[in-house]
Amino acid sequence: MQLKNAVCIVTGSASGIGAASAILLAGKGARVVVNYSKSEDAARATQKACEAVGGEALLVRADVAQDADCRRLAQAALDQWGRIDALVNNAGATKFADHADLDALSAEDFQRIYSVNVVGTYQMVRACAPAMKKSGRDAVVNVSSLAGKNGMGSSIAYAASKGALNTMTMSLARVLGPEIRVNAVCPGMVDTKWLREGYGLRYAAIEARYRQGTPLGRPGKPEEVAAVIVWLIEGADLITGDTIMVDSGMHMGLIPRKL
């Protein structure tokens, strides 16, 4: 796909991987819909950063857990630019909870996390698919997680939701081709404000363990994950239904780098 003037929606793009993806797409000439649900100031900063690198950016507040908001978000892109070429489903939710404490998660916690991570992604694809099919060479990238592969991560509910997202990525790829490719990226530990705040005082110890136990010896940066997302949109014409690990090799198991 040629990104010059392509219209790309990036959900949850106020910060972190979403913001980095929006800015990288804009720098390649794409027209980007910057989406947020709560963090308006951060989203406006992303919008300005997109414009600073030469792209066009439209700011739209929407909660992907609400189907009406998903449809409104897709329509905003169509009203502004008349097309949708790429969708990055980055909006996500979790609750940081000790996996061993089975009382730490309620049914409501599960439902809230699934409503964004799984249902929200489905609703966004459904809202955008009719317009995307008209172009014929469009791409969806779902931002999943290593947690969906190894059952770890911020909570059991989060890991389960990302496992479901990986499965749904394959299901959608089957039914939306050949016009739309659907893939997922599975980041490992990524150094973001969101993760630091979520783990709090435990962050330093978790990061040190990650550095010691992965072949590349460090967490990722949002921009590094964004580079893979943009590649899946721009240059991976023969890839669909796949989950790409972006995790410093963590998926091979937590092992000392020097045996």
Q: If you write DSSP's letter for every residue of 149-172 in order, what string do you get? A: HHS-SS-HHHHHHHHHHHHHHHHH
pLDDT at position 221, please?
A: 97
Name the nearest CA neighbour of 185 among 217, 134, 139.
139
pLDDT digits 0-9 by tens, 9-40: 999 999 999 999 999 999 999 999 999 999 99
pLDDT at position 137, please?
A: 83
The answer to whether residue 257 scores a pLDDT higher than 70 is: no
How high does pLDDT run on average in the chain? Answer: 95
Confidence class of residue 196 from pLDDT cuts 50, 70 and 90? confident
Confidence class of residue 62 from pLDDT cuts 50, 70 and 90? very high
Mean pLDDT of 243-247: 96
Share of the chain above pLDDT 90, in %: 83
Q: Where are the domains of the chain?
A: 7-193+222-245
Q: Are 74 and 84 within 8 A, CB to CB? A: yes
Question: Residue 92: which residues within 8 A CB-CB, separation 6 or more?
Answer: 12, 116, 117, 143
Mean pLDDT of 232-245: 97
pLDDT at position 259, please?
A: 40
What pairs with residue 246 in β-bridges? 187
Determine the Cα–Cα distance for residues 247 and 256; give it in Å rounded to an integer. Answer: 16
Determine the Cα–Cα distance for residues 84 and 120; give it in Å rounded to an integer. Answer: 18
CATH numeric code, 7-193+222-245: 3.40.50.720
Encoded amino acid at 246, one letter? V
The single residue of 36, 158, 203, 210 carrying the catalytic annotation is 158
The answer to whether residue 256 scores a pLDDT higher than 60 is: no
Question: What DSSP element (H or E) covers 8?
Answer: strand 7-10
| Residue 117: DSSP 8-state | I
Name the nearest CA neighbour of 144 among 80, 89, 182, 107.
89
Residue 210 appears among annotated catalytic residues: no
